[in-house]
Amino acid sequence: MAPSVAIVGGGLAGLTCALSLGRAGFEVTVHESTEALGGKAGVRRTGDQVRPGSDFPYPCEHGPHFVAAWYVSTLRLLRELGMADRLVDYSGISYLLPTSPRAASPRKIEVGASLRLLPKLVTGLARSDGGPLSRRTSLRVAALAFDLLADRARIEATEDMSLADYAKGRRYGSEDLLAAADDQVLRASAIPARRVSLRTMAGLMTLWFQYPAPFLRVLDSDLHTALIDPLARAVEAVARIRLRSPVRGLAFAGDGRVDGVEHDDGSVSRADLVVSAVPCEVLSSWLSREPAAGELRGLTDLETAPMCAVQLVFDGKLRGVPPGVFYLWESEPAINAIDLSQVWSSLAGERRTFLSVVISDHSAIAGLGDAELVELTLERLSRCIPDVSRVRLHSAATKTNTGEPLFINTTGSWRDRPSPSRGYAKGSLYVTGDFAQTPVDLACMEGAVASGMIAAEAIASRYARFPGLTAALPRSPSRGRLLAYRAMRAGLTAIIAAAGRLSSAGR
C-alpha cells in the first residue's frame, strides 16, 4: 500500500511537493485552511480606495511577482505546466530620478544585465553622468560586490556577520557605500544592510552573476492564472485537496513521532508522514508545546517582516514609464514598481495605466492608514513621473501584508532554519517553505518551489520511489569565473586606493 502523506498548506511549496509525491504514487492530501490556494503568493479581491464600497477592478496580489533567470526550479515547474511561454523577458532595470513637475517625461537611467553590470553601475549611476551616486561610491559598490563574489566560499562559514559589518571592515567602506547598500538590500529583502546575513548576500550576488540574462521575467497575467490554477489542476489529478480545512497543530504519537494533523474541530487526519508547508511563525507556534520537536526550536528565533503592496490604476497612459521593473532613486521609503498594463495580456489595448508598487521598508510607513498610504505613494511617484499628478486616478488598492509577513535573512539565521531534505520527529515530519535551507536562501517563489521539490525527493528516495519533479539547483561558478571575479576585485581595489591618494594629495 502506498504511504500516506498529509501536506499542511496550499501555497507554492505545499502544492509543488504534493504534485511530485502524487506522481510518485504516494497517497497525498493537501490541507488548506482558507477557501483558496496560493498562500502568500495568492490573489485576493480587495476594496477600491477611490470608490468606497466597490472592489478593486483587477486581481490584487501580495506585490508584483518577478522570475529571475536563477529561478531554475520555478522555470522547470512552469515548463512542466506548459506555462513557460507566459513569461516576458526584460534585460535590466530602470532607475527614475527626481525631475521637475513641468517635465514631460521621467529622467531615467537604464542598467542592463550582464557580467558587465557593475561597471555599468559605475558609469551609469555616477554623478558626472547625471546619476545620483558619486563615482567613488559607485566604485566602492562594485568592489564590495566583487568581494562577495570572490569570497563566497569563505563567507558561507561566516554565520553572524552582516553585510554592513563586512563593508565597514574593508578599506573602502564609507557611509555613502552603506547608504547605497541599505537602499538596494531593503528593496530586495525588506531588511537593512546592517542586519542582513552576509552569507545570504554573497549567495544572491553569485546567483545574479551566474545567471545574468534575462535579468528579470514577468508573467503576462496574475500569478493565479499563470501558475497557481494550472498547478492546482495538476495536483488534483494525483492528490486530494481539502480547502477550508484549518489545522491547529500536529498530532504526536506517544513515541514522539508526528502521525497526523489536528483540525480546529478536534478531529485528526492520520498519515504516515506529514509535510509542513506553512509559514515559519505558524509552525513555530505549533511546536512550542511539544518537547519532541526540540530539534526545530531554532524556528522561534526566525524573523519576519511585511512588504507593502500598492496597486494604482490611472485613467490614461503615463508618459515615459519604463516597460519593465523600475526603482525610484533616493525615495524614502524605498519604492519599486512595474507598469502591468505593459505586461499583462488581458490589459493590452487599454488606455489605463496599472502600476503595481512595492514598499519594502515597512517601518517607514508604520501607522499609516490605507488612504494615507495611497497619498504617500502618489506623492513619491509624482516626483519622478510628472504625469502621476496630471492623470486622474481611477482606482487604488493597498495590501500592507502585516498578517502575511515574509521571512527575512538576519545574521545567524541559517543555522536556525530547517532542512527540507531531513525528516524531523523521528523521520515523520518534513518542513518546506521559502524559509527552509535551500541554495536560493531568500524568501521568494524560487525558495518555496525548490524546498517543495527537495522535500519530495527526500521522501521518494526514502521509499525507493522516483519523485514526480526534481529540483533544478543552481550551478556553482566555474574556476574561470572565480579567477575573473578576483581579478576585478583587485583592479577595483587598486583604483580606489589610487583615487584616495590623489584626493589626499589635492588637499
- In the predicted model, what is the mean pLDDT of residues 235-246? 96
Q: Could you count the other beta carbons within 10 Å of the beta carbon of residue 475?
A: 13
- In the predicted model, what is the mean pLDDT of residues 95-116? 79
**The pLDDT of residue 163:** 87
pLDDT class of 425 with cuts at 50, 70, 90: very high
The parent domain of residue 431 ranges over 4-35+243-302+410-462
Instruction: List helix spans (H) across 288-333.
Output: none
Q: What is the mean pLDDT of the chain?
A: 87
In order of 64, 110, 153, 209, 452, the CA distances from 327 in angstroms are: 13, 11, 31, 20, 31
Name 260's bridge partners.
Answer: 251, 270
The whole-angstrom separation of Cα 61 and Cα 309 is: 8
pLDDT class of 173 with cuts at 50, 70, 90: low
List the strands of the sheet with 240-242, edge to edge.
240-242, 27-31, 4-8, 273-276, 429-431
Least confident of 136-140, 370-374, 424-428, 476-480: 136-140
- In the predicted model, what is the mean pLDDT of residues 187-194? 76
Q: Are residues 264 and 341 in the same domain?
A: no
Residue that finishes a domain, picked among 368, 399, 430: 399
Residue that finishes a domain, picked among 344, 377, 399: 399
Look at residue 115 and tell me whether its pLDDT is greater than 50: no
Residues 376-401 have pLDDT tens digits of 999 999 999 999 999 999 999 999 88
Look at residue 129 and tell me whether its pLDDT is greater than 50: no
Q: Are residues 123 and 140 in the same domain?
A: yes
Residues 266-277 have pLDDT tens digits of 999 999 999 999
Residues 2-45 have pLDDT tens digits of 899 999 999 999 999 999 999 999 999 999 999 989 888 877 77
Residues 39-74 have pLDDT tens digits of 888 777 788 999 988 999 998 888 788 899 999 999
Residue 454 within any structural domain of the chain? yes
The CATH number of the domain holding residue 336 is: 3.90.660.20
Question: Residue 330, exposed/middle/buried by CB under 10 A (0-12, 13-18, 19+)?
Answer: middle
pLDDT class of 282 with cuts at 50, 70, 90: very high
Instruction: Give yes or no for a contact between 185 and 201, defined as CB atoms under 8 angstroms apart.
Output: yes
Residue 380 within any structural domain of the chain? yes
3-state secondary structure of 280: helix
Residue 100 within any structural domain of the chain? no
Instruction: Give yes or no for a contact between 10 and 39, defined as CB atoms under 8 angstroms apart.
Output: yes
Q: Are residues 311 and 291 in the same domain?
A: no
**The pLDDT of residue 128:** 41
Q: Strands 66-67 and 216-219: what pairing? A: antiparallel
Q: Are residues 31 and 67 in the same domain?
A: no
**The pLDDT of residue 292:** 60
Look at residue 226 and tell me whether its pLDDT is greater than 60: yes
Tally the domains of the chain.
Answer: 3
**The pLDDT of residue 288:** 77
Residue 235 within any structural domain of the chain? no
3-state secondary structure 454-490: HHHHHHHHHCCCCCCCCCCCCCCCCHHHHHHHHHHHH
Instruction: Give yes or no for a contact between 238 and 19, defined as CB atoms under 8 angstroms apart.
Output: yes
Residue 349 is which amino acid? G
**Which of 165-169, 177-181, 324-328 is modeled with the greatest confidence?**
324-328
In order of 248, 251, 267, 269, 420, the CA distances from 264 in angstroms are: 5, 12, 7, 11, 26
Residue that finishes a domain, picked among 351, 369, 399: 399
Phi then psi for residue 4, to 5 deg, are -95, 140
Q: Are residues 295 and 416 in the same domain?
A: yes
Q: Are residues 346 and 292 in the same domain?
A: no
Instruction: Evaluate if pTM is beyond 0.85.
Output: yes
Q: Are residues 65 and 144 in the same domain?
A: no
Q: In terms of Cα–Cα distance, which of 199, 218, 103 is closest to 155?
A: 199
Q: Could you tell me the sign of the dihedral formed by the alpha carbons of 146, 325, 400, 344, in that order?
A: negative
Residue 468 within any structural domain of the chain? no
Q: Are residues 354 and 493 in the same domain?
A: no
Residue 162 within any structural domain of the chain? yes
Q: Are residues 286 and 416 in the same domain?
A: yes
Residue 107 within any structural domain of the chain? no
Look at residue 209 and tell me whether its pLDDT is greater than 90: no
Look at residue 245 and tell me whether its pLDDT is greater than 70: yes
**The pLDDT of residue 133:** 58
Look at residue 197 and tell me whether its pLDDT is greater than 50: yes
pLDDT class of 113 with cuts at 50, 70, 90: low
pLDDT class of 117 with cuts at 50, 70, 90: low
Q: Are residues 336 and 377 in the same domain?
A: yes
Q: Are residues 253 and 393 in the same domain?
A: no
The whole-angstrom separation of Cα 451 and Cα 445 is: 10
Q: Are residues 291 and 419 in the same domain?
A: yes
The CATH number of the domain holding residue 263 is: 3.50.50.60
**The pLDDT of residue 465:** 93
Residue 109 within any structural domain of the chain? no
Residue 277 is which amino acid? A
Look-up: residue for cell 512588504? 307
